[in-house]
Amino acid sequence: MTETARELMRALGGKAKVAAMSHEQRADALEDFDISKLDAASETLRETHEWPTVAELDARVDQRGYRRGVGSLFRNSSYREAVDPPLPEGKVKRLKKMPEAPTLLDFFDARFAPSAHLLQSAALANRRGAAEETVLACLLHDMGGYLMKSDHGYWGAQLIEPYVSEKVTFAVRQHQALRFFADPATGYEYPVRYYEAFGFDYVPPPYIQAAYDYTRNHKWYMEARLVTMNDLYTFNPDIKIDIDEFREIVGRHFKQPKEGLGYDNSPVAHMWRTMINPDAPL
Ligand SMILES: [Fe+2]
Ligand SMILES: [Fe+2]
């Protein structure tokens, strides 16, 4: 447990109490934590920590047996890994067998779990009274990272495009670029963990700058911005949000194909199949 997580647990009266909380109470706790602790922690980190440079991170590329952009389903790793270990340790886990016609929730259960980052981001959006489509966008925003971390917002948007509204796809796709640009009016700051992940002197490439300019002037700017505002960069592994909390929202806004994701002959079916069976050799 991180020190901030320990602090939260203490403030809430311990692990058992947190486990006994309702969804609503936990979401409250999460939001309080987000505001009162994480901002302060981020500020201290920003000032006191020594961050790697882009060149230093680049020097580590050939010191690993994997590439940092690889999807988290394909190696022994957690989804969130600001500081890469020099080499992955341990083995990948055996994946659950999936139903013949898998639903989105089956993927959460059998491929993305524990997916704490997605669940906590969506819970925060929900608690803040966001529209259902925004909650869905938050729930799905980093899903692409299971398949491919590099450009994960684009992969994620492509995966869901046939099944959700244009607005949800837009929000997921454009969060990729917006993450790198602060918006003081909404309270969104450049994430401290990006200093570690990208290097403190990192400058986003021109295509990201262009995507940001495009999104900034788009009528749905706030749809994508809300994804970044509810994106919990430091999340607490001890607060468990159940996917059931979002079952109805998914039911209303995700058009589940009756053949199952991966088997509906959509242009992205193969991408879902790859997540069903990432152990296929070819
Ligand atoms: Fe993301
Ligand atoms: Fe995220």
pLDDT, tens digit, for every residue of 87-131? 455 688 899 999 999 999 999 999 998 888 899 999 999 999 999
- Please give the pLDDT value at position 66: 84
Q: How many CA atoms lie within 13 A of 27 on its CB side?
A: 17
- Please give the pLDDT value at position 75: 87
- What are 128-156's pLDDT values in tens digits? 999 999 999 999 999 999 999 999 999 99
Looking at all shown ligands, the one closest to residue 115's CA atom is 2
Looking at all shown ligands, the one closest to residue 230's CA atom is 2
Q: Which of 140, 166, 163, 164 is nearest to 153 (CA)?
A: 140
Looking at all shown ligands, the one closest to residue 121's CA atom is 2
- Please give the pLDDT value at position 9: 65
Q: Which of 122, 147, 123 is nearest to 227 (CA)?
A: 122
Looking at all shown ligands, the one closest to residue 175's CA atom is 1
pLDDT tier at 238 (50, 70, 90 boundaries)? confident
Q: Which residues contact 168 (CB under 8 A, 6 or more apart)?
A: 133, 136, 137, 140, 160, 223, 253
| Ligand 2: centre distance to CA 249 (Å) | 19
| Ligand 2: centre distance to CA 141 (Å) | 6
2 pLDDT above the threshold of 70: no
- Please give the pLDDT value at position 82: 43
In whole angstroms, what is the distance from residue 93 CA to residue 43 CA?
Answer: 36
| Ligand 1: centre distance to CA 137 (Å) | 11
Looking at all shown ligands, the one closest to residue 172's CA atom is 1
- What are 249-269's pLDDT values in tens digits? 999 999 999 999 999 999 999
Tell which wins on pLDDT, 193 or 47: 193
The distance from CA 128 to its chain's CA centroid, rounded to whole angstroms, is 18
| Ligand 2: centre distance to CA 93 (Å) | 23
| Ligand 1: centre distance to CA 253 (Å) | 20
φ, ψ (nearest 5 deg) of residue 149: -80, -40
* Predicted structure pTM score: 0.86
Q: Which of 6-10, 120-124, 230-234, 256-260 has the largest mean confidence?
A: 256-260
Percent of the chain at pLDDT > 70 equals: 78
Contact predicate 149/243, CB 8 Å: no
- Please give the pLDDT value at position 116: 85
- Please give the pLDDT value at position 83: 43
- Please give the pLDDT value at position 81: 46
- Please give the pLDDT value at position 84: 45
Q: How many CA atoms lie within 13 A of 232 on its CB side?
A: 27
- Please give the pLDDT value at position 280: 96
Tell which wins on pLDDT, 195 or 28: 195
86 pLDDT above the threshold of 50: no
- What are 16-74's pLDDT values in tens digits? 777 677 666 666 666 666 555 555 566 666 666 788 999 999 999 998 888 999 998 99
| Ligand 1: centre distance to CA 25 (Å) | 26
Q: What is the dihedral angle through the alpha carbons of 54, 59, 62, 65, rounded to the nearest 10 degrees?
A: -60
| Ligand 2: centre distance to CA 190 (Å) | 13
| Ligand 2: centre distance to CA 252 (Å) | 23
| Ligand 1: centre distance to CA 159 (Å) | 14
